[in-house]
């Protein structure tokens, strides 16, 4: 990709991120709470979640669809949880989730597991991977925050492993701007529609 195209792509992504983040800021606390509960229930009902021995997920912050109750429910159900630990180069290490009291402050306002890190390849052991996104399109391409952390992590995950992006209803789009390094997810979870499988190209 030449520098002009790369610049245009970065501009397109930045503009869409601003619009989506403004939409999230406009949601009131009751809407956020209801959306989090609906996504939690939809993911817990997913056969792939019920069968998963290990689930790689994330601890939501700000106006992201809430994952706190989902993580706790998976943990109480007996699934082994892995949460990301952000490395200085933007890549993701992974460590065990041992309940909400096992978390500690991390960079960029994140909460991270306090357990020993297991290495960037630990995500490969997951039977189900839940990922954050600002938007997903109908082919499974996702728009993240721009650091590339989850694109690197998803590139390590086997093609048969269910990968699910958690978004609000209006964040499943016809298309999102994407480059050659952007990774697809196989499913999307939304409050009103539950979990749907996306077409594979």
Q: What is the 3-state secondary structure (H, E, C) of the chain?
A: CCHHHHHHHHHHHHHHHHHHHHHHHCCCHHHHHHHHHHHHHHHHHCHHHHHCCEEECCCCCCCCCCCHHHHHHHHHHCCEEEEEEECCCCCEEEEEECCHHHEEECHHHCEEECCCCCCHHHHHHCCEEEEECCEEECCCEEECCCCCHHHHHHHHCCCCCCEEEECCHHHEECCCCCCCCCCECCEEEECCCEEEECCCC
pLDDT at 195 over 80: yes
CA distances, 182 to each of 39, 88, 129, 149 (Å)? 24, 20, 16, 10
Average of pLDDT values for 178-183?
A: 89
Q: What are phi and psi of 56, to 5 degrees?
A: -90, 130
How large is the average pLDDT for residues 89-93?
A: 95
pLDDT at 1 over 60: no
Domains and CATH numbers, the chain: 3-197 (3.40.50.10420)
Of 4 and 195, the structure prediction assigns the larger pLDDT to 195
User: pLDDT class for 123, splitting at 50, 70, 90?
Assistant: very high
How many whole angstroms separate alpha carbon 65 and alpha carbon 33? 8
pLDDT in tens, 17-72: 999 999 999 999 999 999 999 999 999 999 999 999 999 999 999 999 999 999 99
Query: Quick one: pLDDT band at residue 2, thresholds 50, 70, 90?
Result: low
> Once rounded to an integer, what is the mean pLDDT over residues 120-146?
95
Which whole number is the average pLDDT over 89-109?
93
């Amino acid at each position: 990709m030449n520098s002009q195209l790369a610049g245009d792509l970065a501009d397109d992504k930045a503009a869409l991120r601003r619009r989506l983040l403004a939409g999230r800021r406009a949601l009131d606390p009751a809407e956020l709470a209801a959306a989090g509960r609906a996504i939690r229930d939809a993911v817990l009902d997913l056969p792939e979640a019920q069968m998963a021995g290990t689930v790689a997920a994330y601890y939501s912050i700000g106006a992201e669809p809430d994952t706190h109750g989902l993580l706790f429910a998976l943990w109480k159900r007996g699934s082994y949880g892995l949460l990301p630990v952000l490395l200085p180069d933007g890549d993701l290490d992974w460590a065990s989730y041992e309940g909400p009291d096992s978390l500690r402050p991390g960079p960029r306002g994140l909460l991270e597991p306090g357990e020993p890190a297991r290495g960037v390849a630990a995500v490969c052991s997951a039977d189900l991977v839940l990922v954050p996104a600002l938007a997903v399109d109908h082919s499974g391409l996702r728009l993240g925050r721009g650091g590339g952390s989850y694109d690197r992590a998803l590139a390590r995950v086997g093609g048969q492993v269910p990968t699910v992006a958690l978004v609000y209803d209006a964040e499943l789009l016809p298309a999102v701007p994407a480059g050659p390094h952007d990774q697809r997810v196989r499913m999307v979870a939304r409050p009103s529609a539950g979990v749907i499988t996306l077409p594979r190209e």
